[in-house]
């Protein structure tokens, strides 16, 4: 008993002598945070809306907008009652309140509409200035009023090119698929019309040249710097290698009608994904791939693990194509860190800075910066949300979270003597702008 008492007493003395054994999480270096705030960022991923006239609406900010889906539970920071958005209103529009009462939000709406009118077509660029963003990449079906280069750069959608046949089986397999496949079919008809076609070509060879390649070339001419696959909203990312002869057999058997067997259709889709990616690389277009665990009430989370893209990224015929894992494969972010070893693969952390808080994001960023800091891209996923919460507010919240998280991660790396303060500033510039400048040759 005396020995046990002595041991307990000794442990108490040791713990008292070393109070840092269980340290509280430290904050960011304020001076470093101020330096990070001054860096003009390049935003790799957004769904910015164009300027619209009275009574006009913009539905081209996403090929697969969530408004098509049945209602599903929203993550905490996306909910319309998130009071963090009052800080965005204060920063952008001088909002004087800390609540979201109906009267106060009505007052905000009037101010916001006045500011929008005053700036006119320059309103989106004005918002970028408030957010500390120099260039914003816009994921849109087509660009529009108020979104000119070089402040706004187009990222087009090309999933529709991968699903040219009958999609009834997929529609019936999943509630989200049922909502999203018609949107892709409508977009494919639009792309066919752009090439003066009223029907699919009879052979795969003609489809590749007259539709897939022709669409990519047109988008490049119209200013696209990248193309986007949202394919994880439509099927899993298990995109295997497939022969052109096998794909041609499937296409030419079913292009006139009927429902292709699932395995055959997958083979064609896999081939078309790689063909389109190769052509994008030939044209100097970066390929963005949605790699994230959401969203939607019937989203197939198991289909978004970044490891499913191993065979794509390792394909020697695709090494001239640069890929970006949009949203960074969350929650499999440590897997993403390893996959950045592939010479043609980058990752952005868009949406993460909108959905998780700075401390959690700082842990992701520190891990990535300790692996491949030159492969990390800043992004917000700025998107229209609810009521007076538009792309401006979601963009502001994500940008502030990103800068806070970056400051936290770099402060901790300095304290642990991994980097100098000078290197911390250099890393912040790389993540917020320099890596994107190199990737897109801005």
pLDDT tens for each residue of the chain, 442 residues long: 344 334 334 344 333 444 443 344 579 999 999 999 999 999 999 999 999 998 899 999 999 999 899 999 999 999 999 999 999 999 999 999 999 999 999 999 999 999 999 999 999 999 999 999 999 999 999 999 999 999 999 999 999 999 999 999 999 999 999 999 999 999 999 999 999 999 999 999 999 999 999 999 999 999 999 999 999 999 999 999 999 999 999 999 999 999 999 999 999 999 999 999 999 999 999 999 999 998 899 999 999 999 999 999 999 999 999 999 999 999 999 999 999 999 999 999 999 999 999 999 999 999 999 999 999 999 999 999 999 999 999 999 999 999 999 999 999 999 999 999 999 999 999 999 999 999 999 9
**161 exposure class (CB count in 10 Å sphere: 0-12, 13-18, 19+):** buried
Closest CA to 323 of 301, 340, 337, 304: 340
> Where are the strands (E) in 66-145, listed by range?
133-139
User: Hey, is 21 helix, strand or coil?
Assistant: helix
Strand arrangement of the beta sheet that strand 41-46 belongs to = 41-46, 133-139, 152-157, 224-229, 286-290, 323-326, 345-348, 376-377
Closest CA to 188 of 176, 201, 178, 175: 201
Q: Find the largest Cα–Cα distance for the chain.
A: 93
Which region holds residue 33: left if phi is over 0, alpha if psi is between -120 and 50, else beta? alpha
What is the share, in percent, of the chain residues with pLDDT greater than 70?
94
Q: For 118-127, what is each residue's pLDDT tens digit?
A: 999 999 999 9
Residue with tokens 């260039």: 135
Count Cβ atoms below 10 Å from residue 250 Cβ, excluding itself: 22
Distance CA 20, CA 388 (A): 45
Q: Contacts from 189-196 at CB under 8 Å and sequence distance 24+?
A: 191/160, 191/161, 191/215, 194/218
- Domains annotated on the chain, with CATH: 27-440 (3.20.20.140)
Q: For 4-36, what is each residue's pLDDT tens digit?
A: 334 334 344 333 444 443 344 579 999 999 999
pTM here is 0.93
Distance CA 66, CA 43 (A): 21
Residue with tokens 């905000």: 108
Distance CA 26, CA 65 (A): 39
Distance CA 189, CA 161 (A): 10
């Amino acid at each position: 008993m005396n020995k046990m008492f002595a041991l307990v007493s000794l442990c108490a003395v040791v713990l008292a002598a070393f109070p840092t054994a269980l340290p509280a999480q430290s904050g960011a270096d304020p001076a470093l945070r101020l330096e990070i705030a001054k860096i003009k960022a390049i935003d790799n991923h957004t769904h910015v809306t164009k300027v619209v006239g009275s009574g006009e609406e913009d539905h081209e900010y996403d090929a697969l907008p969530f408004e098509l889906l049945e209602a599903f539970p929203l993550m905490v920071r996306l909910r319309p009652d998130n009071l963090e958005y009052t800080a965005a209103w204060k920063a952008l529009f001088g909002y004087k309140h800390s609540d979201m009462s109906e009267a106060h939000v009505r007052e905000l709406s009037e101010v916001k509409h006045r500011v929008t009118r005053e700036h006119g077509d320059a309103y989106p660029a004005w918002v970028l200035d408030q957010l500390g963003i120099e260039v914003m990449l816009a994921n849109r079906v087509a660009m529009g009023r108020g979104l000119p280069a070089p402040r706004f750069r187009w990222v087009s959608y090309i999933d529709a090119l991968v699903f040219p046949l009958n999609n009834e089986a997929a529609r019936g397999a999943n509630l989200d698929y049922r909502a999203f496949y018609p949107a892709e079919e409508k977009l494919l008809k639009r792309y066919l019309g752009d090439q003066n076609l009223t029907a699919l070509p009879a052979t795969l060879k003609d489809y590749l040249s007259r539709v897939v390649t022709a669409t990519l070339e047109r988008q490049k001419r119209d200013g696209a710097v990248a193309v986007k696959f949202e394919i994880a909203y439509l099927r899993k990312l298990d995109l295997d290698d497939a022969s052109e002869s096998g794909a041609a057999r499937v296409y030419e058997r079913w292009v006139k009608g009927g429902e292709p067997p699932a395995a055959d259709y997958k083979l064609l889709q896999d081939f078309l994904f790689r063909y389109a990616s190769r052509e994008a690389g030939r044209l100097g277009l970066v390929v963005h791939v949605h790699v994230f665990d959401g969203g939607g009430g019937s989203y197939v989370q198991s289909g978004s693990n970044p490891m499913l893209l191993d065979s794509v990224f390792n394909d020697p015929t695709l090494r001239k194509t640069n890929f970006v894992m949009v949203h960074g494969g969350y929650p499999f972010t440590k897997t993403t860190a390893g996959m950045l070893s592939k010479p043609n693969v980058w990752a952005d952390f868009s949406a993460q800075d909108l959905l998780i808080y700075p401390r959690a994001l700082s842990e992701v960023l520190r891990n990535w910066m300790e692996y491949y800091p030159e492969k990390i891209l800043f992004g917000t996923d700025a998107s229209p949300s609810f009521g007076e919460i538009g792309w401006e507010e979601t963009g502001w919240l994500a940008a502030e979270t990103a800068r806070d998280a970056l400051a936290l991660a770099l402060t901790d790396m300095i304290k642990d003597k991994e980097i100098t303060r000078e290197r911390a500033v250099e890393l912040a510039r790389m993540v917020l702008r320099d890596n994107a400048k190199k990737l897109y040759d801005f």
